[in-house]
Amino acid sequence: MKRIHCLNAISKYGLGFLTEDYALTEDINEAEGILVRSASMHEMDFSSNLLAVARAGAGVNNIPLEDCAQKGIVVFNTPGANANGVKELVLAGLLLASRDVVGGIAWCKDNRDDENIAKSVEKQKKAFAGGEIKGKRLGVIGLGAIGAEVANAAASLGMEVYGYDPYISVNAAWMLSRNVKHITNVDTIYQECDFITIHVPLLDATKGMINQETIGQMKDGVVVLNFARDLLVDEKAMSAALDSGKVKKYVTDFPNTTSVKMKNAIVIPHLGASTEESEDNCAKMAVMEMMDYLENGNIRNSVNFAACDMGVCKTVSRVAVMHLNVPNMIGQATGTMAANGINISDMTNKSKGKFAYTLMDLDKQPDEAIIQKLASTEGILRVRVIR
């Protein structure tokens, strides 16, 4: 029986995909897998039993990725599972920034006791007049699962869409509408678009990418939308741009002590993926990824180890070796098996940065002494007999 611990409340729909070979446990130290949403894991001490962490969502800044990798713990996320939920909120953000719906609703609430409100509104509504998004130019920075859906939806609404992503995957490119213009220089988006929405991960290279310099390139009265990560935007520069009118509206899904005080900012309480459907999709995806890893050793959508898939093991045994991405690791692993008369019928090795992963299907079951010898090899982080 494999034991799973939930650090946060996880959708019952997703947990329903756990088979009878799994049980939920309140004791985190006995768990082989952890399912998590937003709980911080940076201060946690990980039990030697822990093999995998699955984040029911895309962002993993709450998980110590390298520390997990050093301990041979695979960290999964669920890219794309909440894409539709975020896309729909981005579209709402576009509309809220174009039409002063927020101001109009506030006026109605403030004047709810006016017995002549039906007449008063005809005089006041011009204060909340806005524009339409059809025909306007939208720049989408980042064409992953969410960015591509936003670009396609905006194009279908009649917007002229520019998309920028130097690392766009082949699959994402195929999914992109032919009406989206692929831009090779992000400055084109800064300089020519009426609306700009960012959908990139938070990395050293992207932190503060919307700053005084890039805002300076933008058209006067531009609208900027941020449903990715708050730190992608230099909020001091954004606040100044809103005060001066350079930026007409800033729509963000990340409230903090700075953003909530910004003039002309529409601040949403981190609702991007807060739909029942998104939570169900993320939970299901996280559970399925974890089960495939625990049962077969396959890795899909890991953020600290490379993708690796050998399907279901059909030989006598399968052994997984997690190791540093340095020379002679594979040679030592295969050499240990050969020295003990064990034939490797199939094998794959994948690497990602400093870490690598090797799966070996064997014609003979290795005994504990062989596994211990392999595990004691310098550079090997963890050895697991899957079958």
pLDDT tens digits, residue range 289-334? 999 999 999 999 999 999 999 999 999 999 999 999 999 999 999 9
Residues in a beta bridge with 319: 360, 385
pLDDT tens digits, residue range 218-256? 999 999 999 999 999 999 999 999 999 999 999 999 999
Same fold, 1-82+276-304 and 83-267: yes
The pLDDT-based confidence of 169 (bands split at 50, 70, 90) is confident
pLDDT for 174 beyond 90: no
Helix 83-98 / helix 145-156 crossing angle, nearest 10 deg: 50
φ, ψ of residue 273 to 5 degrees: the values are -105, 15
Query: Which value, in Å, is the radius of gyration of the alpha carbons in the chain?
Result: 25
Q: What average pLDDT does range 254-259 have in this prediction?
A: 97
pLDDT of residue 73: 98
Q: Determine contact, residues 163/195, Cβ cutoff 8 Å.
A: no
Q: Determine contact, residues 366/342, Cβ cutoff 8 Å.
A: yes
Single-letter amino acid, residue 61 = N
Q: Does domain 306-387 have CATH number 3.40.50.720?
A: no
pLDDT of residue 382: 98
pLDDT tens digits, residue range 329-367? 999 999 999 999 999 999 999 999 999 999 999 999 999
Q: Determine contact, residues 291/22, Cβ cutoff 8 Å.
A: yes
What whole-number percentage of the chain has pLDDT above 70?
A: 100
Q: What average pLDDT does range 202-210 have in this prediction?
A: 94
Give me the architecture of the 1-82+276-304 domain, per CATH.
3-Layer(aba) Sandwich (3.40)
Residues 6+ positions from 345 with CB-CB distance below 8 Å: 315, 361, 362, 363
Sorted by where each begins, the domain ranges of the chain are 1-82+276-304, 83-267, 306-387
Q: Give the range among 114-128, 129-143, 163-177, 236-250 with minimum mean pLDDT.
A: 163-177
| Cα–Cα distance list, 109 to 99, 103, 124, 150, 302 (Å) | 18, 10, 13, 32, 48
pLDDT of residue 175: 86
317-324 and 380-385 strand pairing: antiparallel
Taking residue 130's Cβ as centre, other Cβ atoms within 10 Å add up to: 15
| Cα–Cα distance list, 351 to 150, 290, 302 (Å) | 32, 19, 12
**CATH code, residues 83-267:** 3.40.50.720
DSSP of 198-258:
E-----TTTTT-BSHHHHHHSPTTEEEEE-S-GGGB-HHHHHHHHHHTSEEEEEES---TT
Between CA 299 and CA 22 the distance in angstroms is: 19
